[in-house]
Amino acid sequence: MQRTNKTSKLTVFLSLSAAIKFGDRLSVGACQKLLAQLSKCKAPFQCAHGRPSLAPITDLQKFLRICSPKEDSSDGLNLANLRSLMAAEEEDSDE
């Protein structure tokens, strides 16, 4: 039984160390590939700790406006704008 526990802990550790983290830049193609892979998972909506792995996008047009790459950049989505917006909204909700 202990071997299974160690195996589980190692699996979780390896998956977390390779995980995409907030602030990582992803191309549109990488996002599409990730969503395709997630669609094949048994529990695609949570990480190994049980935390949500996806956030709903309620206004796709607003999301695309905020996250569109700068014209002089080919880095993919501009998540810095999204982080700024999220921080501002969080401050507003704290007041």
Residue 1 has a pLDDT of 45
Low-confidence ranges of the chain (pLDDT < 50): 1
Distance CA 75, CA 69 (A): 7
Which residue from 23, 14, 20, 40 is spatially nearest to 86, judged by alpha carbons? 23
Q: Would you kindly state where each structural domain of the chain is located, as residue ranges?
A: 1-54, 55-95
Is this structure's pTM higher than 0.75? Answer: no
Residue 73 has a pLDDT of 58
Residue 94 has a pLDDT of 63
DSSP letter for each residue of 19-30:
S--TT----HHH
